[in-house]
Structure 1
Amino acid sequence: MSNVTTYKVTGMSCGHCEGAVSSELSEIEGVSAVQAAADTGLVTVTFTEEPDDEAVRAAVDEAGYELVGRA
């Protein structure tokens, strides 16, 4: 069973940004898919086991962007 959570991320402005955020978030255990949209700043994460908010924040930070919170 998969669940979905959407997060608001600031600083994304292009496809490269989307890819960087998606790549980092995809490495979190339990995450099965990530869809980032630079135009809205929204990142949708599909998971089998919900990731810890701090793990999500750390992954977004590692990609060079800022997690605002859940959308």
Structure 2
Amino acid sequence: MTTNDTTQPASTQLFDVQGMTCGHCERAVTQAVQSADPEATVRIDRSTGRVEVGNTNTPRATLAAAIAEEGYTVAP
């Protein structure tokens, strides 16, 4: 049996985000990402500004825009 399933496997994307200083910031970024992709997993290292978004097929630009909407700077 042949299928034409063109679904891409979920991937992990890394973002460098400036301006996260507290737990509230982490929650805001997590909620922003998950509003764009409810299935995404989010891991944040506030000390380095690294945000790892896993299990996502959402375009990078969409996720970055969601984070930026919360007032954080996302490095290109």
TM-score range, shorter chain: 0.7 to 0.9
RMSD, aligned α-carbons: 1.7
Amino acid at match of 1:59: A
Partner of 2:46 in structure 1?
A: 38
SS at the partner of 2:44? Answer: strand
Q: What are structure 1's unaligned runs of at least 5 residues?
A: none
Partner of 1:63 in structure 2?
A: 70
SS at the partner of 1:19? Answer: helix
Greater fraction strand: 1
Q: Could you tell me which of 21, 30, 37 is aligned with 2:29?
A: 21
Q: Could you tell me which of 7, 18, 25 is aligned with 1:10?
A: 18
Structure with the greater alpha carbon radius of gyration = 2
Identical positions, percent = 31
| Distance in structure 1 (CA, Å) of the matches to 2:44 and 2:55 | 15
SS at the partner of 1:22? Answer: helix
Count how many residue pairs are aligned between Structure 1 and Structure 2. 68
